[in-house]
Every structure is written in structure tokens, then in C-alpha cells.
Amino acid sequence: MSWLRYFRRTRRKEDFAVEIETYLQHEMDENIAHGMNPRDAAFAARRKFGNITRAKETAHRMNTIGFLETIGQDLRYAARLFRLEPGFFTVAILCLALGIGANTAIFHLLDAVRLRALPVTSAQELAEIQIAPGQKCCTGNFSSRRSNFTYALWDELRSRQQAFSSLFAWSEHRFNTAAGGEVRSVEGIYVSGDFFRTLGVNPALGRVFSIADDRPGCGAPGVVLGHSFWQREYGGQTSALGRKILLDGKPFEIVGVAQAGFFGVEVGRSFDVAVPVCAEPIVNGENSHTPKRHHWWLAVIGRLKPGWTLAQARAHVRAISPGLFAATLPPNFTPDTAKDYLGLKLTADPAASGVSDLREDYQGPLLILLGIAALVLAIACANLASLMLARASARERELAVRLAIGASRPRLMRQMLAESLLLAAIGAACGALFAQFLSGYLVRFLTTTDNPLYLDLGTDWRIFGFTAALAVLTCLLFGLMPALRATGANPGTLMKAGGRGLTGARERFGMRRILVVAQVALSLVLLVGALLFVRSLHKLLTLDAGFQESGVLVTEVNFSTLKYPPERWPEVQSEILRRVRLLPGVEQAAAAYVVPISGDLWNDRFQFVGGKPAGHFISNFSGVSPGYFRTLGTPLLAGRDFDERDATLKSPKVAIVNESFLKQFLNGASPMGTRIRIEAGPGEPEPVYEIVGVTKDAKYRRLSDPFSPTVFTAMAQDERPAPGAEIFTRSQVGLASQLAAIKREMAAVSPAMALNFYTLHSEIADSLLRQRLMATLSGFFGFLAALLASIGLYGVMAYIVAKRRSEIGIRMALGADRTNVLQLIGSECGKLLAAGLLLGIVLSLAASQAVAKLLYGLSPSDPLTIGLSALLLALVALPASLIPAIRASRLDPMNALREE
Amino acid sequence: MAQPKQKDDRGDMLQGTLAMLVLRTLLLAPAHGHTIAYAIERTSEDILQVEHGSLYPALHRLEERGLIASFWGTSENNRKAKYYRITPAGRRHLARERSRWDQMVNAIARVLGPATE
């Protein structure tokens, strides 16, 4: 009711005025009737009524809500002040927008990766079932991001478990939709029949899969499209239903489209197509995972039965584990591995916010970035607080007058806080816009063709709350202290003192000095962080990886859809290589199974034949063609490269090892003639290789990994060849024509050959994404922080000079020359800077430990980095503070003194 | 609902009294502010001098509390005036206040005893 009245207050005010007017008229009428003249009658009426203003005010107070009324006034007043000082306003808003925006953007990503619940029905009932960590798990073939289950194990679990009302398995797989030639990949998932029902996801069109679709031996029962893929590829047309789509060469009929906004259960990824798990054998053919009990490729999520808690479910799956593993023991396991396998236990973990491998990758960096962004915001706040203090002291007299004529201190504080609040609100609004842009940019930054990152960046209440909380917090941070100080002074002393002092009273800008020291210190911390990241990225980029990546084109050839028998695969591989080598312009060409730095890994256990040295060893492996080392620019240190002698399965198997292999296993002794035997499961071949060459070390999986022992074998001698290879070419002609020529040549072999191209250089650049992200963002923030701190320092110095104008004037009148004045102000500034830097170094040493894990080849307390950062900051900050000093030295003493 | 206002007149005897007088006056017939002021003065034989200016905020307060209602009308000398009339709630309030007032007057009278003069 009172709120209603508030909004009607203008109307009521008018009514009230009319009422009073009526009274006066009546009274006048009566007075005139009693014989007064109109003038006296009017006066008498007013006298009779009493204090009109007071009556109006009383009525006004009844109708208004005091707080609302004054905050409106305060905000209008603040807006007026800001219009008068556009410079201050712009700087303040810019600081806040950058600070708040950066925080919001990074929080947004964290929220999307970490906190948000899956957009499905009752996500909190979902639990992921996997092998409990800390066990000796598992041997075999792992082919997906979450390879937690074999098909057999999943099948057993599904039929034996009691804890879940429904559960599903899924696995991701990148499908090629092209009939031949260059690959067009789509992100796919294999899903078991209950996937959509368990999650409560409905079709937007057609139908989604049910249990009936997922029967063993189902062939190619159809495909459900992701909503955005449907929009993108089929323009959202209903006619897409019933059409066929080629997935790895097999036609699948489109049976439906999943509901909008559903991206699957893996945060950071999205699916374009979903096919039933039972279709895997027809897609992968010979290499199908489904029948193989040592192929781990599925992940499982279930929905808890009503009344079941997660703890009960966990206990349940643990209890049924022995039976499950006993029933699914892979036949080819050795007794050792079988024993480990039989002892495995399952567990269940909450999966309300989905599962993600991004979390492990990006949570740490994002938290650090959030910390960095928070520091930037703190520096910005310190800057603003300093500015507000300066404004407050400029308005000292105004405030003193207002206090003296009866304004209450809370009222004045409210007014000053209203200014801060207005700034914070506008800053937060601009910051939110900036954040939208920045978080979008970050997602694009982290997206590579090979690793598309999909994040739902819709704004939710959490983001809104975070931004609002930041706005209030910053407002309090930079507004409260100046408001308290400005209104805390005794008006009497203030009015007396106004402008009279010769030297500014020290304590009045003591607070600003502290703020500047804090700013310098914090920005040094950020600069040190930035430099650490930049330098470690630089180290990674310039390290000797053991190969020359520039100019190397990688062509991924896959002929699995062609009907070559497996025994002909090596032959096809060498035919492809032979043809590529003959292409005009191609200087060198080679093939391999593993592309360096791509993240691919092939390692095996082996032993030395003859038991010298004795024991089991593990090394990285790769199968390569002759010419591989020359093509990649890795020097051969001893022995020979592969050649025609090693071109058939029947020739004696040979291997080339790297330096690390020698150092680690053979104490650097010459390995020529040494033979190693690969250990495999029973029933699998255990090939023996004779070492015939040694190469220089080269990085294998990641640039940041140390060199590790690697054994190269000849592709042509591989007992288990693959229907494809990675072809490396170095050519004189440009990339585009090289690519086109290879495409033409491969089409000549067969139009159904699937090809995928990328350069080794971009592969390596992509592998450094996280480091690049950290270097770019921390560099940006560090620069921003240094800039803010410089502005802060400049502000304080300018203020000090202004306050000490008359003092400087007197000094100069008494004979001080420019150098003296420069020294005076310069030393002041130097002291502030030095104190800030010193504090900053201490803080950096403490804070940089948090980033140790993300650095390469640098200690977090690297003295060079810290020294450089301090120097850099001093270089940026000194000119900013020298300007006021120089200005002071040019002061005309007569002018300065006359102003007094 | 009108919490801040109740704070104003609770315990303030004069305020409450004024409200009672206004309600009593309006019991006879609707009236506008000027009439009410004079009616109180006249019926109390000029003993109770209401400050006319303070009458209007009081009227507003009573209207807020729903004890009286207002409408615009034309006064006896043809001027637009805001008329007030008592509401059923106002009648109840008056009855309550009146009995409290009587009790108080009696109580005070008993304490003071018969006039000693």
C-alpha cells in the first residue's frame, strides 16, 4: 500500500495543495463576509491555517518512502557530477568494465565447465559408474576419452545391477560423412538404447532411440541428429527425416532430432550424430570393439532408483563387481593381468553436471586466471578509491558546509555511496557486455578443428549473481573508505583549514600512498605471472624438439572403407607413399603411424633378448617408413635408416631407437645388433626386433614432456597393420598446390580413399593451446595492471604536487632550482615505487608457487623473471610519475604564491 | 500496511484525540476540512483550538488507515472541495477509542478524587 502511495505521490501532492487552497478560500470568504477587506482576509486566513509548508511537508513524508526518495535524488546528483567530469567518469567506467568483465567472463567459463547441471530432467539423480580409482586398471585397447567399460562388462552390469532405474553406455567417435576424398568429420556418439530415456531427452523431430533400437547385430538402425547440427546442415527442415547420411562410408537413415540445447553428457563437447551402440560393429568392421573383451571404449551413467542414495548405489556396484569381472574376463589375459582384472571394483560418482575431460585440463588454469582477474579488479578498485579520495578532498568544503547546516553524516555517506553505486552499476553493465565478448573469444581461442570446444554460454542466475555481487563489492571497496573519511572530519576544522596550509597535511593523503604501494605490489605480482607464462611458452616454442616441423604437411590417409584384405594393407601403404614421392615438387615423403605431438601414444612392454639387461621395460613405439627421419629432419646418429631390405613381413625385423633409449636402458652402450622382444598377450605375436640404428632424441607426445625412450619399427614389417597411415611431405611448391596434388593422386588410387590434411606446425601450435591461453591472457592482464598502477601513481603524484604547490613555490623563491624540485618530487615517487616493488617481490614469491605446475623449464621463483618484471614496471611507472615532477619544476614561484 | 504512520500516532495522546474528534464530527455528515475544523471548535465551545494546518495531515493519515474516505464535491459557496466521510472501520475505531477514552477519564477522575476546593 505504501509502495502504491509512493508512485502516486505527485498526484496526491497536487490534491493536497488544492485542499489547502480550498480551506484558504473558505476562510477568506468568511472573513470578507465578516467585513474584512480582501487583503486582510487573505492574511487572516493564512494565519488561521498556520504553517502551510509544514503541513505540506508532513503530508509529503507520509506519502513518500524516505530511502527511495533520497536515493533517487542522490543518483540524479551523482549523474550530474559525472556529466561535469567526463574524464573521471570514463576512466572509472573503463577500469570497472575491464575488471568486472574479465572476472565475469572467466567465471562464466568455469561455471559452464564445472558447475552447471546438465540440461536434462532431475540431473541430480544421475551417477557415473566407473572403475574405482587407485586400482591397477586395466590392460587392453583404449579408444575413447572415457574408456571405462568394455562392451561385455557393460552388458553384465546392465543385467545385474539393482540400484539404477535405468542406465546407459556411450562412447564418442568422430565419423567421416564424405564418400571419399577429403574427410568431412562430424562429432558422433554411440549410445545404448536407454540413453535418451534415462536422461529424459525428447525428440524435437521424429523419434529418439529406445531399447528396441539397440539389439546386438542391429546393423545400421538409424541416426539421431543433434539439434544444432540439424539446423546447420539441414536448415532445420523436417524433410531431413528419412534421408540417409554416410557415416564412415555406411548409410544411416535419419530417424529423429534431439531436443534443442541437449549436447550430450560430456561438458565441453557436443554431438552432431548419435547412433546406437549396436551399430559399432558395422562401422568399425574388423576392428570392432564390441566383441573384444579387452577393448575399453564405453562410459556408463545411470539414474538412481527412487529412494536409493548415491552411497547405497556405490556400495551396490562394489558388491556386484566380483561377479561382473569374473563373467567378463578377457580370454587373452596372462595370469598376472587376469588377477588384477578379477580384483577390480566399480564405484558410482555424481554426474549431475555431466562428465568432462576438460575439467582436469582447464580447471586449474581457469582458477588461476580468475585469481589474476580478481587482482586486476582489486587494482582497478584501488585506483578508483584513490580517485574518489581525491574528489572527496576537493569537495571537502562543500561537505563541511553541508554538515554544518545540519546534514546528517549517514545522509552524506549515502550520497557518496550512491555515486560509487552508480559507477559500479554502469561499470558492471559494461563489464557484462565485455564479458560476453571475452568468453566467446576464449571459447573460440580454445577451439581447434581437431578438438572442437562446445560450451553453453547462456547467462544464468549464477553469472548474474556473480556480476551483481562484484558490482556491490567493488562499490564498497572503492566507495566506502573515501565516504567514511570525507564525512568523518570535523566541519569546523575543515572550514578553518580550507586551503590555508602551506604543506598538505600528511595524513590526508597517507591513505592514497598506501593504495598506490598496494597497486604497484599487486601489479608486479601479475607481471611476474605474465612473464612466467610468456617465457615458458617461448621456451616451448623455441626448444629443440628433435625435428623440423615447419613446411611439413601431414596427410591422414584412411582406406578402411575400401575392400582391401588386411594382408594387402602394407602394400597399399607403400603404393600410396610411392605415388606421393613421385609428385612434382615433393622433396621428401614418409609415412608413420604416430604423428609427433599429436597426443597419439603407442607404448609397449618389451625385454631384451638374452636378458641383458634383464627385466621388463616400457618404451614408446612408432611404425615409420623409410625416409621418415630425413623428412622430419631428425638426424640419424648411428647405423642405418629403414630401406628395401625391411620392406616385407618375411625380412628380419629391425628397429631404430633414440638416444634416450640408449641412455636409459643400455647405459649409452652401442645398441647395434641388440635384439628386443615385444611382450604381448597369449595368442598374439611377440615380434623380435634387431636394433640397426640410433637417432637423435625427438619429442613424442607433448612438447613439455621430457625426451623419452622410443623404438621405431618399419611399418612394412608390422604384424598388425592399419588400413591407413599418416603421410608426411616436404615440398618446394606451396601448401595449397601440394595438397591439391595429393588429393588428385589419391583419388586416382581410389575415389573412396578418405583424406585429412594438416600441417605439423599447426598440430604443434594446437598442442600448446593451454600455454598460449595462459601467456596471452596473463600478459594482457599484466599489462593492464601495470597501466592501472601507473595511472594510480600518476594520480597520487599529481595530487601531491598540487597540494604542495605553495611549498614548492616558497622553496623556489628561496633559491631551490629545478633539479632540487625534481629531486624532491622524484624521491617521493621513488619511495612509493620502491616500497611497492619490494612488497610485490615478496608477494610474487609466495603467489607464483600456485602456477608452478603450468610452467615449463622455469622455476616459479625464477630471479630473472622477477627482476625483469620489476624493471618493466618501473619503466612503465616512472614516466607517468615524472610528468607531475617536471610540471612542478616548471612552476612559476610568483604565481604559486600569489594564488595563496 | 501503513506501519511507519502508526508509529506516529501510537502513544501520542493528542494525535489520537484529534483523530477521535474528527471521526466524531464526521459521524453526523460528510464534511470538508474547513467545516471539520470549525465544527470541532464550535462544538467544544472554542475550548479545543485545533491548529487548522495540522488538521489536513491528520485527515490524510486517517484516510490512509481506511477510517475515513474522501470524495470531491462542491462546497456551500460553490467551490471544489475534498469531502470526507466516515467508513464502517472508522465507526468501529471511534467506538473503541471512545470507550478507552471514557475509561481513562474515569480513571483519572478517581485518582484525582473529588475537587478539594
Return the residue of A nearest to B5 by Cα. A62
Distances (CA, A) of A766 to A311, A454, A457, A541, B40: 41, 16, 23, 12, 91
Which residues are A695's β-sheet partners? A636, A658
Q: Sorting pLDDT into bands at 50, 70 and 90, what band is A717? A: confident
Is it the case that residue B75 has pLDDT exceeding 90?
A: no
Predicted pLDDT at A164: 94
Q: Which of residues 6 through 65 in chain A touch B, CB cutoff 8 A?
A: 15-16, 18-20, 22-23, 25-27, 29, 48-52, 54-55, 58-59, 62
Residue A217 pLDDT exceeds 90: no
Interchain contact, A15 vs B82, CB within 8 Å:
yes
Percent share of chain A, pLDDT over 90: 24
CB–CB of A796/A513 below 8 Å? Answer: yes
A90 C-beta neighbours (distance < 10 Å), count = 11
Name the nearest CA neighbour of A838 among A524, A542, A448, A499: A524
HSE-CB of A525 using CA atoms within 13 angstroms: 28
- For residue A320, what pLDDT is reported? 93
Q: Is A1 on the interface with B (CB under 8 A)?
A: yes
Q: Which amino acid is at A416?
A: M
CA A193/CA A199 separation, integer angstroms: 12
A3 has pLDDT over 70 = no
The answer to whether residue B1 neighbours chain A at the CB level (below 8 Å) is yes
Flag whether pLDDT at B5 surpasses 50. no
What is the rounded CA–CA span in Å between residue A658 and residue A655?
10
Paired residues of B68 in beta bridges: B86
Q: What share of chain A is helix, strand, coil (3-state, %, to 5)?
A: 55, 15, 30
Q: Are B57 and A23 an interchain contact pair (Cβ–Cβ within 8 Å)? A: no
B-chain residues within 8 Å CB-CB of A16? 56, 60
Shortest CB distance from B5 goes to which of A22, A51, A62? Answer: A62
Neighbouring residues of A671: CB distance < 8 A, sequence distance ≥ 6: A657, A661, A662, A691, A694
Residue for cell digits 562429432?
A: A187
B50/A821: higher pLDDT: A821
Element (H, E) at A713: strand A710-714
Examine the pLDDT at A142 and tell me if it is beyond 80.
no
B104 to chain A, closest Cα gap in Å: 29
Query: What pLDDT does residue B58 have?
Result: 85
Which carries the bigger pLDDT value, residue A490 or residue B36? B36
| Per-residue pLDDT tens digits for A658-695 | 999 999 998 888 888 889 988 875 556 788 999 999 99
pLDDT over 90 at A727, yes or no: yes
Q: For chain B, positions 3-62, list CB contacts with chain A under 8 A.
A: 3-5, 32-34, 37, 51-54, 56-57, 60-61
Residue pair B108/B116 in contact (Cβ under 8 Å)? The answer is no
Contact A23 B79 (CB under 8 A): no
**Of the ranges A67-81, A242-256, A276-290, A491-505, which one carries the lowest mean pLDDT score?**
A491-505
Q: Distance, in angstroms, between A48 CA and closest chain B CA? A: 7
A23/B52 CB distance under 8 A = yes
Up-side HSE of residue A171: CA atoms within 13 Å toward CB? 22
Cβ count near A63 (within 10 Å): 21
How distant is the Cα of B75 from the closest Cα of chain A, in angstroms? 9
State yes or no: ipTM above 0.90.
no
* CA pseudo-torsion sign A355, A360, A365, A367: positive
Say what the pLDDT of residue B115 is: 66
Residues pairing with A657 in the sheet: A694, A711
Is the CB of A2 less than 8 angstroms away from the CB of B1?
A: yes
**Mean of the per-residue pLDDT values for chain A?**
85
Mean pLDDT for the stretch of residues A794-799: 81
Q: Tens of pLDDT along A363-388?
A: 888 888 889 988 888 888 888 888 88
A643 touches chain B (CB under 8 A): no
Number of H helices, E strands in chain A: 28, 24
Lowest mean pLDDT among A638-642, A660-664, A782-786, B8-12: B8-12
- Pick the closest to residue A346 from A328, A326, A310, A322 (CA basis): A322
The pLDDT assigned to B45 comes to: 75
Q: Report chain B's C-alpha Rg in angstroms.
A: 16
Question: Which domains does chain B show, CATH number per domain?
Answer: 3-112 (1.10.10.10)
Contacts of A397 (CB under 8 A, 6+ apart): A494, A495, A498
Contact A23 B54 (CB under 8 A): no
pTM of the model: 0.74
